[in-house]
Amino acid sequence: MNRREFLKISGIGAMTLFMSGCGLSALKDDKKNVVPEKGSVSGGKNMKIVVITSSPHAKNESTSIYLADRFTEGAKSAGHEVFTFDAANGDTHPCRGCDKCGMDGPCIFKDDIENILMPKMLEADLIVLTTPLYYFGMSAQLKIIVDRFYSRTGKLHGKKSIMLATAYNSADWTMEALINHYETLVRYMEWKDVGQVMATGCGARSLVEKSEFADMAYKIGTNL
């Protein structure tokens, strides 16, 4: 991306953080970076987890996929089963609002969301939404998936969820709109939010790799 775009709005603070690494010091007391205490998430061992990634960047270059990978590593080490869906490279279609599903499925599209992701989501205990911050919200790639929840809204009630996000900017309001959207979604879907990693100041792979956000993601996985 053109880094100047987001420097413009985040100002000198972001420049300092970009030069020196991720802006974690500003976030240490940020209640929005939520890592559950070990054993505090009911669901027990061997949870079925679906991780949805949505960055168009290559796996070894993406900052948000790095967080997802660290989470997965932690969750697998704790004995959980993880299925990952790449929303940026699959065969996915945005909801047409035709209402043929009647909010109770099936969807008219027989794409990867309907055939691969939805069956996994329906049987999952925990759903992890992962996104790069795009204009202060989730990526369009992830929003396509979220809108397709429409076909199974009721059947998806009662899941646990986690949000992992990375952003270039490091201002304290960077993630506000995303957090509001995520928490509203959790409320509507009757999910239980069990962790959030909002990795500000992480616009490049090297920054997220050396940040404490990576360890937070790992720890959320191990603490489930």
Ligand X SMILES: Cc1cc2nc3c(=O)[nH]c(=O)nc-3n(C[C@H](O)[C@H](O)[C@H](O)COP(=O)(O)O)c2cc1C
Residues paired with 52 in a beta bridge: 85, 129
CB nearer to ligand X: pick between 141 and 223: 141
130: nearest Cα among 93, 86, 174: 86
CB nearer to ligand X: pick between 136 and 150: 136
User: Cα 31 from chain centroid?
Assistant: 17
CB nearer to ligand X: pick between 166 and 211: 166
Do 214 and 33 meet the contact criterion of CB atoms below 8 Å apart? no
Cβ burial of 82 (10 Å; 0-12, 13-18, 19+) is buried
CB nearer to ligand X: pick between 36 and 209: 209
What does the alpha-carbon distance between residue 180 and residue 82 come to, in Å, rounded to a whole number? 26
CB nearer to ligand X: pick between 197 and 202: 202
Residues paired with 203 in a beta bridge: none
Minimum gap (Å) between residue 97 Cβ and ligand X: 25
Paired tokens of 200: 């500000």
Chain residues binding ligand X by CB under 6 A are 1, 6, 55, 57, 62-65, 132-136, 166-169, 174, 202-203
What does the alpha-carbon distance between residue 71 and residue 218 come to, in Å, rounded to a whole number? 4
Minimum gap (Å) between residue 70 Cβ and ligand X: 13
Do 26 and 202 meet the contact criterion of CB atoms below 8 Å apart? no
CB nearer to ligand X: pick between 74 and 132: 132
Using left for φ > 0, alpha for ψ between -120 and 50, and beta otherwise, residue 62 falls in beta
For 173, other C-beta atoms within 10 Å of its C-beta total 10
Minimum gap (Å) between residue 214 Cβ and ligand X: 13
Minimum gap (Å) between residue 63 Cβ and ligand X: 4
Paired tokens of 220: 């959320």
Minimum gap (Å) between residue 26 Cβ and ligand X: 14
Minimum gap (Å) between residue 36 Cβ and ligand X: 23
